[in-house]
Structure 1
């Protein structure tokens, strides 16, 4: 083998179209190796380097009986620790600056009572301002002024009971329930960690999901930001309860064999000077890029400088912190497209490989993502990392030394956009089965994806959920079982089909936003001035799905059956699906994935008796799931107790009803009894 061949990264070996970008892909590998070596020269290991959260900020050493406060603020002129412990005296507790730009003060334990409110006064080029320490692990909001302060907090010992919990099964095939703590209750208020743990976790478990993805955990000053304008990266949001309450939630999830992943927002940060990191040392060149490069105009937020070692350490420490202190099982990285490119993906069509490798790529950001993924899997090989990327960056979910970025999964962001486009702009008879197939299966080989029909994005005010696009205002008047309505009948049928089609075909994992499984009827709108600060649309109406006299439970029950069926048969772990039948006339798609055969008839009216199609193996088949079952709000036109036999052409004949999905499984041959085997042996 030639030297050139030896340098050919695995990513290129697997995809010849990437050959022109071999140098760029090798650069990824080399940049990661170089950055990791530099880190290891500073701190022995990547994990050790990411332990800064144990040294920075306000720390209480109970053995030494001393508080130590450290803050990286290289361009600051003065720092003073202030709080109710010293009556907010801005002169009494100055910090001393070290040669590495880290300021420090040490105080006896009795000087600061645990629970005291604290801030740091920073004198810099932008004046003298009271700020919250960067590594603060708890903040508190003033109920009158709504301003935030840090809290002198030493985590008490927590009795974890999840030592034996493993997320290996979830990593193999994550079936994700995306949730938001605050809107997880039915009351018009902000829900709490404990309410979510006690009331919502059991619901998720009953539905069959194995992973929970939580939004908005890190502190954010504006509730309506959905947690995407983070101010305090190491502080669980105080509006939902205490850090111990969040630990209670995670521990209880693990008891139920549910993995917990949280949204990790390292793509940007809140601009606020009062709460966040912006200009913490008085300059615009500390955590973020200076000038225009440091601001995301579309998001009105700040952009990290991933090339700085101190910024890398801050963010990597944040990765380690949530995994070690709160036992989370991984992350969904927000805004990865924005992070990877200097243009942030704004108004960019990724229609050529040049766009991935040559057009305004942020190489420091790519290296940071590699380091973060290496750290995650170093800390816990069973941890799950998911990238929210709409660009389709090659290698995003490939091993780093193959030329990838090391994620386990990417979100299939094009799928929900596709469904909304169809529901908004196409009549039922215009649905194109070949486009349906293409959108679901168009993903990179050897890179795993999370498919979803809708997430929180599709439910935010100004848009509609899939259920609302299908049924709109009719949902307010005709979801009672004693009310017949063609719009509702169509909506219920297609809602089920869209979900199982997406789950069965669209990826190696699946995601649903809480409440959408039963067609939650309203959009999401957080309290704001424009709605008179109402919580009416920032909650989940679980009672709708629980009511036997309403049709919502049909959708919930189907979702549960769908998840159970595909989970039991390991469908998402099977290789890609293979087409068995594509019928344009009847808008019917039949395919096999793993050991299951899925038959979809999207036609609005054509129901075909004696519908025949070829199957890969002769024998007897049974229908194990029908979306047309009366239990799921259908019309019971298919007898699921039947046994289907292949004919001489190895074809099955079924009743292919319109707007229906049928799932078939080949029946196993019964083994002969021991007595029969003995009789056959004697003969």
Structure 2
């Protein structure tokens, strides 16, 4: 085995990231074998030189052609470098064979060469003032006096390792180390290309300041710049109300060599804008085929739909005046933020919400009404974050916001961009973190009001042909290897945080992005070959790595959550380790498990071990957001947990004066399911709005009759009705209805986590999962949870193990009257439970408790409990916490 030569220079093999992906001791030599064999070394090195003379090795062709993107150039260079590696491998094998025949000790030779290389490298480094001679400039530290224009942090250099640092968390991943190295080197290569061609990721991700419609100057005149990347278009003119939809000669954009059309509109002589604020605009495009079409600018920042029109129009949105901080925006004024971002929550409790359907009335709700009515409700329930759905503009309301047409535009159905800013600022005032459900996994196939076929081609931002179409979602798939697609999407995520002060994202449909098969008709078994093979879309994965590094570097408190059903390893490990970089993944299997049990099993068939396994089956050192149900389970065609449990009884038996064993069972299990999910499911928790009180029925957006393009079947609409596209808050607030019990328990459950911060505590231990008794005992943080899922049996003097010695008291019980229970086990009795020493259920202490049927009781150290705690000013009904609790978080 032979050491690396350290060959350096422009286009050097040793500096190319692809060549750092080998893991054998010979890898460093292979990375630069051709030049090392021709160096004038002493002793055996000369022998190597003689033996290698005449060998031919491929060198990378770095000639740049104008019609190739930097990513395409990088891919082609890597292909050539692979040929170099293969050629070098053959040469090394021949050399080793010859040396062994001559009796040369290869290990001693390797040691000798390594010493020579180290001495020479030290000498060269001492003589050089340029550290870039010795490592990639992408990884070079920033100068001490470097000025950074980003508001929060700096883009970190790429760490100098091979992308396998994240494998330390799972040794079994080493069998796929080559994939991680390749993935890392593709990531490094893209980062390097962005540094070289765009001046860095920071500048690259601010495309919204260049593309689209922006105020600026040209030749000393103020005005509006319009820029659009449309390589397939022959001509583009800007049209709108400002020119009566008929472009003058000065309204035609000029196309440069990179496919970017540029147009400058100087202000009017009186100083007013050439395009008035809140007036309609569109692009008139001549495609490569000579067809004339009208499109909404791809980077438009607002789009609206008139009441009597089907299609959306782009709108030039630039309020002429800035309002006072915190003051409601008007037609002429923009909103100025007043409140700082809240501290990043340590125990994430997310309230998933859709502004449009949040009204109690059958209508589309507004940003201002949501801020006024919903934000106080969410805070009162004990959630510390909201996740806003359907923020990006989408022409089809019934898509739930997932068929995005205008990626930089806030949905106009709910109000103006500045009214959305007011909502976010008001949430920050209340201490709520605001996350956005962002869609980068696909786009609407709409052409007239979307970005599809903007220039007349089927590619542009997307893959061309069949690869660019998602047959199940009937939408377009992005090409994450396209340079301008990267700019578009990276800028998009930065835009919403920079401009609107969002605090993070839930990335939708990530599984579809990461695999060529989109995860469709694929049952992931956990076999690592399913994650690291030809089915993996490495370009999409490296895009996600870029996205996470960008966001976490510029906005250190940002939260990123990925919707991944596959269980991709390293999904939630930092990019610096070679991971994909998300903070959390959605633990999607839990909701499926609850539906499976409710739909297919009787209560006595529930397996405690299977429930615990599903709740705890997550990758080590990768955080998860758990949920019992989300918006997916609430849509028409599915059922919420409450509806599975109580079904038709929800129509007739929800009065507190109407006895119903069906409703009693339903409410009891509803409470238990939600608390055990919060307790065991992950490091964060999510609830979809209304499900906290068991909202009846389903969500059905207004829709017309359609033909499903994926199946060809007729799907009847609902006549455009909004009746089931709202939230019945009146049910939760009605004192005479049982919905209030579930609502109250959800509030107490969240405030228990607020007081004890248990949901992300690393101490999690299941001491008992008894299949006969249907009982689960869990320790999380310093709390002990006793879940009795038995449909009929209650247990007196039931011994459970504890890690800490007592005494304990009940701090929360689902059997409290305020939660619709019978008070068989209640904090109001103020019983102190003493513990006995001695191993029980593998715990050093134990105590005797009462465990009624279909009840959960939570025990805390007595010093933190107060039976009358809910009577205090800051008390929460049904919660027996002393004061605010030992780990209270605002």
Q: Which bin holds the TM-score, normalised by the shorter protein?
A: over 0.9
| Other-structure match for 1:96 | 254
Kept in 2: contact 1:162–1:254 (CA 8 A): no
Cα 1:225–1:669 shift into 2, 3 Å: closer
Kept in 1: contact 2:339–2:425 (CA 8 A): no
| Other-structure match for 2:556 | 381
Deviation at 1:616, TM superposition (A): 1.7
| Other-structure match for 1:411 | 586
| Other-structure match for 2:40 | none
- Give the alignment's TM-score, normalised by structure 1: 0.95
| Other-structure match for 1:678 | none
Whether 1:300 and 2:486 are equivalent positions in the alignment is no
Q: Secondary structure at the match of 1:531?
A: coil
Whether 1:600 and 2:822 are equivalent positions in the alignment is no
Q: Secondary structure at the match of 2:759?
A: helix
| Other-structure match for 1:164 | 340
Q: Secondary structure at the match of 1:372?
A: helix
| Other-structure match for 2:449 | 275
| Other-structure match for 1:112 | 275
- From 190, 194, 205, the counterpart of 1:35: 190
Deviation at 1:35, TM superposition (A): 1.1
Cα 1:50–1:603 shift into 2, 3 Å: same
Q: Provide the alpha-carbon RMSD of the alignment.
A: 1.6
Kept in 2: contact 1:65–1:108 (CA 8 A): yes
| Other-structure match for 2:231 | 74
Deviation digits for residues 345-403 of structure 1, max 9, x if unmatched? 00112221111010411111011101111111122110100000000000011011322
Deviation at 1:166, TM superposition (A): 3.1
Q: Secondary structure at the match of 2:785?
A: strand
| Other-structure match for 1:547 | 734
Where does the alignment leave 5 or more consecutive residues of structure 1 unmatched? 671-683
- Cα distance in 2 for partners of 1:56, 1:507 equals 41
Q: Secondary structure at the match of 1:644?
A: coil
Report 1 or 2 for greater relative contact order, CA contacts < 8 Å, sequence distance ≥ 6. Answer: 1
Cα 1:331–1:8 shift into 2, 3 Å: closer
Deviation at 1:204, TM superposition (A): 0.1
- Cα distance in 1 for partners of 2:427, 2:792 equals 44
- Cα distance in 1 for partners of 2:201, 2:377 equals 38
- Cα distance in 2 for partners of 1:162, 1:34 equals 41
Q: How does 1:40-189 map to 2 (within 5 A)?
A: 40-61=195-216, 64-90=221-247, 92=249, 93-110=251-268, 111-126=274-289, 127-155=291-319, 157=322, 159=325, 160-168=336-344, 170=345, 172-189=346-363
Deviation digits for residues 298-320 of structure 1, max 9, x if unmatched? 00000111111111001111011
Kept in 2: contact 1:433–1:589 (CA 8 A): yes
- Cα distance in 2 for partners of 1:128, 1:165 equals 46
Whether 1:491 and 2:666 are equivalent positions in the alignment is yes
Kept in 2: contact 1:505–1:577 (CA 8 A): yes
- Give the alignment's TM-score, normalised by structure 2: 0.73
Once the two structures are overlaid, the 10-residue window that deviates more, 411-420 or 348-357, is 348-357
| Other-structure match for 1:430 | 605
Kept in 2: contact 1:440–1:506 (CA 8 A): yes
- Cα distance in 2 for partners of 1:576, 1:604 equals 30
Deviation at 1:174, TM superposition (A): 1.2
- From 366, 373, 395, the counterpart of 1:221: 395
Kept in 2: contact 1:29–1:400 (CA 8 A): no
Deviation digits for residues 635-677 of structure 1, max 9, x if unmatched? 110142111011354321111101001101123499xxxxxxx
Once the two structures are overlaid, the 10-residue window that deviates more, 150-159 or 556-565, is 150-159
- Cα distance in 2 for partners of 1:353, 1:485 equals 49
Kept in 2: contact 1:167–1:329 (CA 8 A): no
| Other-structure match for 1:288 | 462
Whether 1:366 and 2:555 are equivalent positions in the alignment is no
- Cα distance in 2 for partners of 1:510, 1:49 equals 34
- Cα distance in 2 for partners of 1:639, 1:424 equals 31
Cα 1:115–1:162 shift into 2, 3 Å: closer
Q: Secondary structure at the match of 1:66?
A: strand
Q: Secondary structure at the match of 1:571?
A: coil
Cα 1:140–1:8 shift into 2, 3 Å: closer
| Other-structure match for 1:210 | 384
Deviation at 1:522, TM superposition (A): 1.8
Deviation digits for residues 438-468 of structure 1, max 9, x if unmatched? 0000000000000000000001000110000
Q: Secondary structure at the match of 1:573?
A: coil
Q: Secondary structure at the match of 2:511?
A: helix
- Cα distance in 2 for partners of 1:364, 1:262 equals 24
Q: How does 1:245-256 map to 2 (within 5 A)?
A: 245-256=419-430
- Cα distance in 1 for partners of 2:282, 2:221 equals 23
- Cα distance in 2 for partners of 1:614, 1:470 equals 31
Once the two structures are overlaid, the 10-residue window that deviates more, 94-103 or 327-336, is 94-103
Kept in 2: contact 1:386–1:410 (CA 8 A): yes
Whether 1:16 and 2:146 are equivalent positions in the alignment is no
| Other-structure match for 2:411 | 237
Aligned length: 667
Q: Secondary structure at the match of 1:204?
A: helix
Q: Secondary structure at the match of 1:151?
A: strand
| Other-structure match for 1:681 | none
- Cα distance in 1 for partners of 2:694, 2:804 equals 37
- Cα distance in 2 for partners of 1:463, 1:357 equals 33
| Other-structure match for 2:807 | 620
Deviation at 1:285, TM superposition (A): 2.1
| Other-structure match for 2:759 | 572
- From 818, 832, 855, the counterpart of 1:660: 855
Q: Secondary structure at the match of 1:521?
A: coil
- Cα distance in 2 for partners of 1:389, 1:581 equals 30
- Cα distance in 1 for partners of 2:247, 2:536 equals 44
Deviation at 1:7, TM superposition (A): 4.9
Q: How does 1:637-652 map to 2 (within 5 A)?
A: 637-640=824-827, 641-649=830-838, 650-652=845-847
Q: Secondary structure at the match of 1:118?
A: strand
Q: How does 1:485-524 map to 2 (within 5 A)?
A: 485-524=660-699
Whether 1:474 and 2:639 are equivalent positions in the alignment is no
Deviation at 1:284, TM superposition (A): 1.4
